[in-house]
Amino acid sequence: MVPVPEGGLTFEDDGKTAILQLKDLEIIDQPAWPAFKAEATPARMDIKIVWRATNEKISYGDPQKQFKVDGFKATAQLEAAVEVPSLGFSWKSDPIGTSKAKFAIIGDEVNGRYYTP
């Protein structure tokens, strides 16, 4: 989990569409993860993910784990480009419209001290 810089997350359509766009992220290429002490190589990534809410509402939670989610099922699409300089490797996805996620949600959540049953 990493902080999103100012402007990296934007909303459209009254909050029903969210666009996460990050450029030149410092990451690691770690093919053997989660193996212990798996070799990691410095890499960089540009990524854009778009979530769009559908009309199908969701609402669920768990009093024992103290969280509650209200929102919508969504569609999600992604495009990215990755570069691993030390390996001379780079990769770029096809345009965002060609990808899809089998699972996506968007909404609001409360948990922990903010949770009320």
Partner 1 sequence: MSAERKFPFACNCSRRSFLATGVGLAAASTLFPHIRSGAAAVPEGQSVFNYDGSTDPFPIPWLDKNGSHNQPAGLGNEPSSIYHFKGKIARCSDFIGMGTDNKGNRLAFGNPTTDNAFMQGEYFTGRAARKGTFTHL
In the window 83-112, what residues touch partner 1 (CB under 8 A)? 88-94, 98-112
Q: Of the two residues 9 and 40, which places its CB atom closer to partner 1 in the complex?
A: 9
Q: Which residues, in sequence order, are CB contacts of 92 under 8 Å at separation 6+?
A: 80, 81, 82
In the window 58-77, what residues touch partner 1 (CB under 8 A)? 58, 60, 62, 65, 67, 69, 71, 74, 76
- Distance, in Å, from the CA atom of 82 to the CA atom of 77, rounded to the nearest integer, reads 17
Query: CB atoms < 10 A from the CB of 53, how many?
Result: 22
Which of 42, 50, 64, 75 has the alpha carbon at shortest distance from 112?
A: 64
The residues of the shown chain that bind partner 1, judged by CB under 8 A, are 1-4, 8-9, 15, 18, 20, 22, 25, 27, 34, 45, 47, 49, 51, 58, 60, 62, 65, 67, 69, 71, 74, 76, 78-80, 88-94, 98-114
